[in-house]
Structure 1
Amino acid sequence: MRRLADALGVQAGALYRYFATKQDLLTAMAERMVGGVADAAGPAGDGDWSQRVARLARALRAALLAHRDGARVFAGTHSTGPNTLGFADSLVGVLREAGFGDGEAARALYSVANFTVGHTLEEQAALRPGDGGPTDAGVLHEAVMAGTYPHLAATLPTLTSTDFTAHFEFGLRLLLDGLRALQR
């Protein structure tokens, strides 16, 4: 809160006039980040349900990637503002319109949102310069090659790839294929 106040040129106490706690501030930031994401679903009939769900997931990822540590901020909150609830309602609505039951649609919301936020959290951590953490491709490569992990060694080009869009799309496709199988 002090760093934010310094950046805004105000006293830290002035922020508490608007946000009672740091968590309230983070929740407001998370809510602001996802503004407009719900619109990605498009109107009913604009593509099949899986295309609409994929657009929502991609829009959430893009919104979080647009902000430094966006996924980390969003993951640490439980916003019930109109942007967050609008996203959730759009996704659940697409699935209900496609014939999924209420419970299935709700669980699919959790699955899609948690996958998207989790993937983006890891993506942003891996792209953080100079972190040197376990997501650093060089560190992973050395650890795998120093041990006896033949299966990991064979897949190192993919494991250390920074093509996060390809990784995301693969996971999203698995989720959608699983939902398609459930729908039958």
Structure 2
Amino acid sequence: MSTPSTSRPARGRPPRLDQGRTIETALALLNDSGLDALTMRRLAGAMGVQAGALYRYFETKDDLLTAMAERMMADASVAPEGGADWSDRLSVLARALRQALLAHRDGARVFAGTHSTGPGTLGFAEACAGVLRDAGFADADAGRALMAVVHFTLGHTLEEQAALRPGGGSPADPDVLREAVSSGGYPHLTAALPTLTEADYAPHFEFGLALLVAGLETLRRDPHHR
């Protein structure tokens, strides 16, 4: 008996729908139009299938977002130099997470609230926890410090990406903040305006990361904290 022709794709032609290609297509749509425009129906159209076919791999849109977040985390898999100071190694990981989220439009929004247990996400968390435990942090402190680093990086990147105009890619007009501050009698904010309206978010991230790491170092050295 001959094998039905529908049991395998034609030679040299990839299957129309598979999980990996669906995730990559979803990320391409995300980069093109943003998270709000990413729907299961639009994704199905880009894949050339009916919307119902996507539910073979993703029962809900949240499942799709989790898979997309996991794919992003593959780009955050870095191996900090073992001989470096723990604070430098942890900072390298935090920077890698930020860059992985920035690599995709609305990347931080996609990642926020997802709870992937894939190798990319768990590998990143394992690397952070390992740096902290090797530095002498208690297990509970290592876990909380890991969460603090991820939450700080995620929150910063959310704000960083939100500052981009939906269609342009240029920072939001700082004149709006300047006008509001100057017309309201805020002398301290006026003094800080050059920094508050700075378009480059990297120095802001590095400043906050340095504060976080310094706080962790103080905790690590505290003999009364166990």
Q: TM-score, normalised by structure 1?
A: 0.91
Counterpart of 2:182 in 1: which secondary structure? Answer: helix
Corresponding residue to 1:120 among 157, 172, 181: 157
Aligned match of 1:23? 62
Aligned match of 1:170? 207
Is the contact between residue 46 and residue 52 of structure 1 (CA under 8 Å) also seen in structure 2? no
Aligned match of 1:50? 87
1:24 partner amino acid? D
Could you list the runs of 5+ residues in structure 2 that have no partner in the other structure?
Answer: 1-39, 222-226
Q: Say if 2:169 is the partner of 1:142.
A: no
Aligned match of 1:77? 114
Corresponding residue to 1:13 among 44, 52, 69: 52
1:152 partner amino acid? L
1:14 partner amino acid? A
CA positional deviation for 1:38? 3.3
Task: Return 8-17 or 118-127, whichever deviates more.
Answer: 8-17
Could you list the runs of 5+ residues in structure 1 that have no partner in the other structure?
Answer: none
Aligned match of 1:154? 191
Counterpart of 1:127 in 2: which secondary structure? Answer: coil
Aligned match of 2:147? 110
Is the contact between residue 40 and residue 59 of structure 1 (CA under 8 Å) also seen in structure 2? no
CA positional deviation for 1:114? 0.3
Count of aligned residue pairs for this structure pair: 179
Task: Return 63-72 or 1-10, whichever deviates more.
Answer: 1-10
Q: Deviations over 1:55-76 (max 9, x none)?
A: 0000000000001100000013
Q: Deviations over 1:112-135 (max 9, x none)?
A: 00000110111111123469xxx6
Aligned match of 1:101? 138
Cα 1:142–1:40 shift into 2, 3 Å: farther
When the two chains are superposed, the root-mean-square deviation of aligned CA atoms in Å is 1.5
Larger fraction in helix: 1
Corresponding residue to 1:61 among 84, 95, 98: 98
Is the contact between residue 126 and residue 136 of structure 1 (CA under 8 Å) also seen in structure 2? no
Counterpart of 2:78 in 1: which secondary structure? Answer: helix
1:7 partner amino acid? A
CA positional deviation for 1:163? 1.3
Looking at structure 2, the residues matched to 105 and 91 of structure 1 have their Cα atoms a distance apart, in angstroms, of: 8
Q: TM-score, normalised by structure 2?
A: 0.75
Counterpart of 1:155 in 2: which secondary structure? Answer: helix
1:3 partner amino acid? R
Task: Return 32-41 or 160-169, whichever deviates more.
Answer: 32-41
User: What is the aligned-residue identity percentage?
Assistant: 69
Which of 1 and 2 has greater Rg?
2
Looking at structure 1, the residues matched to 133 and 144 of structure 2 have their Cα atoms a distance apart, in angstroms, of: 12
Counterpart of 1:41 in 2: which secondary structure? Answer: coil
Corresponding residue to 1:39 among 78, 85, 91: 78
